[in-house]
């Protein structure tokens, strides 16, 4: 991970649990215990400034909950999330501004507002620019930065395509002079050709503005294109973490290997692949030991009894008793 001074976000033992019990009267009358959903359960990692840290996994593994923890939309049950400082225009250390790009560009923009007002809202709310003419000029600059025109400020979201709406969402996130962007599957609702355009735009903006990304996705091909470091989540925990090229070249956890098997290979389309068997266990009542053991082809007695610790192996980490 490098020097700790280079880490913009440090997450230590973060957990987010939800009480999903039946109403009190039902529990008492039917003698049912409380039930807890451990959406995120003891996650630790660090994100170096200027890089992209990606989190991948199947639906329901806790990716989006973790994203909301980072931006402060929900509070952790336990654990800490700390941001390092950045320098303002005068060279003074300040807390970095954090913004989020949401998954669905059709739901994340107010349909009653014009695009100019949508992008200007965070500028006005934070008091970053006082004069109306200067706000208008800044909004036009932001739209131009993401590949839209100045005249687009007068239009409504329904007049744009999905890719253009996501560009508006990116412009709105950058309106606060954000340093850290949490991207919750920002291209999953878009066509494949449009996905490539948005991803290339995000990489160009990262290079130009020195942005740091926490990138959430279930699409491994997208993650490989974007990432410096990747963490794989399963049932609320990180089961493997490694630099992108190392993870794709020599994954150590059986779950990661099975995920990689799902990526199409144009050079070997008919290769023999081990299917990803079974369903994700009930997160409210996870299996004992390693949570992946009901689906693992290499399961042993130890896997059913002992929870594996996420330990360092090479330049990465893996939570598997037989990772070596």
15-19, 26-30, 89-93, 204-208: lowest mean pLDDT where?
A: 89-93
- Give the DSSP per-residue string, 169-223: HHHHHHTTT-SEEEEESTTTTS-HHHHHHHHHHHHHHHHHHT-EEEEEES-HHHH
10-14, 32-36, 88-92: lowest mean pLDDT where?
A: 88-92
Strand 180-184 relative to strand 316-318: parallel, antiparallel, unpaired? Answer: unpaired
pTM of the model: 0.90
29 membership: H or E segment, kind and range: helix 24-30
- Give the DSSP per-residue string, 111-133: TTS-HHHHHHHHHHHHTS--SHH
Q: Give the pLDDT of residue 99.
A: 95
Confidence category of residue 2, pLDDT binned at 50, 70, 90: very low
CB 22 within 8 A of CB 34: no
Spatial distance between the Cα atoms of 253 and 319, rounded to a whole number of angstroms: 7
47-51, 261-265, 282-286: lowest mean pLDDT where?
A: 261-265
Token pair for residue 228?
């410096």
Spatial distance between the Cα atoms of 174 and 56, rounded to a whole number of angstroms: 24
Look up the CATH number of domain 4-96+179-318: 3.40.50.300
Residues 118-162: pLDDT tens digits? 999 999 999 999 999 999 999 999 999 999 999 999 999 999 999
Q: Where are the domains of the chain?
A: 4-96+179-318
Residues 19-57: pLDDT tens digits? 999 888 888 888 888 899 999 999 999 999 999 999 999
Sign of the torsion formed by the C-alpha atoms of 269, 270, 271 and 273: positive
């Amino acid at each position: 991970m490098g020097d700790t001074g280079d880490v913009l976000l440090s997450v230590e033992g973060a957990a987010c649990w939800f009480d999903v019990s039946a109403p009190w009267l039902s529990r008492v009358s039917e003698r049912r215990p409380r039930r807890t959903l451990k959406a995120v359960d003891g996650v630790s990692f660090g994100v170096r400034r200027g890089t992209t840290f990606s989190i991948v996994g199947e639906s329901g593994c806790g990716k989006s909950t973790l994203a909301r923890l980072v931006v402060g939309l929900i509070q952790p049950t336990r654990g800490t999330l700390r941001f390092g400082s950045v320098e303002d225009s005068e060279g003074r250390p300040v807390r970095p501004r954090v913004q989020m790009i949401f998954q669905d560009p059709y739901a994340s923009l107010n349909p009653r507002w014009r695009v100019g007002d949508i992008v200007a809202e965070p500028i006005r709310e934070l008091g970053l620019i006082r004069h109306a003419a200067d706000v208008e000029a800044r909004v036009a600059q932001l739209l131009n930065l993401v590949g839209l025109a100045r005249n687009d400020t007068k239009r409504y979201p329904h007049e744009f395509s999905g890719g253009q709406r996501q560009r508006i969402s990116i412009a709105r996130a950058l309106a606060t002079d954000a340093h850290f962007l949490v991207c919750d599957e920002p291209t999953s609702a878009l066509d494949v050709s449009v996905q490539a355009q948005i991803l290339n735009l995000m990489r160009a903006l990262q290079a130009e503005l020195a942005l740091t990304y926490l990138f959430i996705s279930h699409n491994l091909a997208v993650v490989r294109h974007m990432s410096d470091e990747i963490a794989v989540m399963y049932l609320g925990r990180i089961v493997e973490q490694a630099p992108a090229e190392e993870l794709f070249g020599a994954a150590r956890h059986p779950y990661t290997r099975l995920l990689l098997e799902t990526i199409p290979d144009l050079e070997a389309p008919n290769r023999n692949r081990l299917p990803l068997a079974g369903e994700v266990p009930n997160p409210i009542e996870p299996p004992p030991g390693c949570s992946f053991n009901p689906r693992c082809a290499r399961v042993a007695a130890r896997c059913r009894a002992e929870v594996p610790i996420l330990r360092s192996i090479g330049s990465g980490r893996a939570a598997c008793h037989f990772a070596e």
